[in-house]
C-alpha cells in the first residue's frame, strides 16, 4: 500500500504522531521519542495491555531488519496513555491526552478507541486540537451496526472504517454517515508487548493505517494544515461504494502524496 511511497524516499520524516491509547511498550522495532500518562494508576506510558503498541507499529514500526515496517517509520512517535492495562479509561483522561498532544504541537493523533456517546469535555478537546492544528484520526467502532463511536463521530475527527483484504466491509466495522475513510483492519500484523508481534483485527487497526498516511502527507507538505491533510486523504481515497460503510473510500498513500 505504501511501498511505492517508501521507494520514492518518503518515510514520514519530520511529521509527528501521537498514539492516544494504552501506551507504547519498549520494542526493538519502535522508537518512541516522548509521551505522557494520564492514567492515575499507571504513571508511565509503558504499555501493559498491548493495544497501543500494536497501533504504534502500524504507524511507525522501524524500517530495519526485524519484524514489520510501519506506514511512516521515520515519523516522530509519541505515547499518550489514556487507557489502563485492561484497555478501559475515562473520557476526561482521553480529553486530557488529546489536549496534551495539541499543546505539544503534534501533527497527527491516532485514537483507536471510542464510546457510544460523546461528552462536552471530549468535544471541547477535539475542538481544541483543531484550533491548535492537530489532526485527529479515530476508529469508527466495532459494533458491526449503524452508529459511529465518539470521538470518531465528531465532524472535526476523521472516522476510519475497516475493510478486509478483499476491500469488503469488515463484519465488525461500525457504519454511518460520519465515516470519512476506510483502511485495512483484519488480521493486521504488528508489534506487541514483550517484544512480540501479533495479528489483531478491528477498526483500531484501520485507524493507524490512515494516521500513517497522514504523516506521509505531512512530511511531503510540511506547511499543510490539519484540515488540508484530512481533505487530501479523503479526496484521494479509492471509492468502494456505500459511503456509510467506507466514507470516501480506501486510503491511498501514493495518490495522497501525489497531491
The rounded distance, in Å, linking the Cα atoms of 59 and 39 is 23
CATH number at residue 139: 3.40.50.200
pLDDT value at residue 259? 83
pLDDT higher than 80, residue 181 = yes
252 is catalytic: no
Q: Which of these is catalytic: 6, 27, 51, 209?
A: 51
The band of 112, judged by pLDDT with boundaries at 50, 70 and 90, is: very high
Choose, from 2, 16, 21, 27, the residue flagged as catalytic. 21
120: pLDDT strictly greater than 90 = yes
Burial of 257 (0-12, 13-18, 19+ CB in 10 A): buried
pTM above 0.95, yes or no: yes
Active-site annotation holds for 85: no
Other residues' Cβ atoms within 10 Å of the Cβ of residue 198:
15
51 is catalytic: yes
Res 1: pLDDT? 66
pLDDT tens, position by position, 47-71: 999 999 999 999 999 999 999 999 9
Which residues constitute the domain of residue 203? 3-257
> How many domains does the chain divide into?
1
Q: Is the pLDDT of residue 79 over 70?
A: yes
pLDDT digits (tens, 9 = 90+) for 192-224: 999 999 999 999 999 999 999 999 999 999 999
Q: What is the pLDDT of residue 115?
A: 96
Amino acid at each position: 500500500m505504501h511501498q511505492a511511497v517508501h521507494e520514492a524516499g518518503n518515510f514520514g520524516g519530520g511529521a509527528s504522531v501521537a498514539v492516544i491509547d494504552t501506551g507504547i511498550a519498549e520494542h526493538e522495532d519502535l522508537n518512541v521519542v516522548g509521551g505522557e500518562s494520564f492514567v492515575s494508576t499507571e504513571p508511565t506510558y509503558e504499555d501493559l495491555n498491548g493495544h497501543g503498541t500494536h497501533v504504534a507499529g502500524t504507524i511507525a514500526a522501524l524500517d530495519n531488519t526485524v519484524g514489520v515496517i510501519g506506514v511512516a517509520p521515520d515519523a516522530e512517535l509519541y505515547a499518550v496513555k489514556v487507557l489502563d492495562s485492561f484497555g478501559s479509561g475515562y473520557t476526561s483522561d482521553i480529553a486530557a491526552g488529546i489536549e496534551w498532544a495539541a499543546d505539544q504541537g503534534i501533527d497527527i493523533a491516532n485514537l483507536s478507541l471510542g464510546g457510544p456517546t460523546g461528552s462536552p469535555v471530549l468535544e471541547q478537546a477535539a475542538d481544541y486540537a483543531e484550533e491548535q492544528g492537530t489532526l485527529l484520526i479515530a476508529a469508527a467502532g466495532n459494533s458491526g451496526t449503524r452508529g459511529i463511536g465518539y470521538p470518531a463521530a465528531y465532524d472535526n475527527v476523521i472516522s476510519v472504517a475497516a475493510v478486509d483484504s478483499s476491500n469488503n466491509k469488515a463484519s465488525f466495522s461500525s457504519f454511518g454517515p460520519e465515516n470519512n475513510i476506510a483502511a485495512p483492519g483484519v488480521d493486521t500484523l504488528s508489534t506487541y508487548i514483550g517484544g512480540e508481534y501479533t495479528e489483531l483485527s478491528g477498526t483500531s487497526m484501520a485507524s493507524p493505517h490512515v494516521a500513517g498516511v497522514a504523516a506521509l502527507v505531512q512530511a511531503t507538505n510540511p506547511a499543510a494544515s490539519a484540515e488540508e491533510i484530512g481533505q487530501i486523504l479523503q479526496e484521494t481515497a479509492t471509492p468502494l461504494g456505500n459511503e456509510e460503510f467506507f466514507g470516501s473510500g480506501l486510503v491511498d498513500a501514493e495518490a495522497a502524496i501525489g497531491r
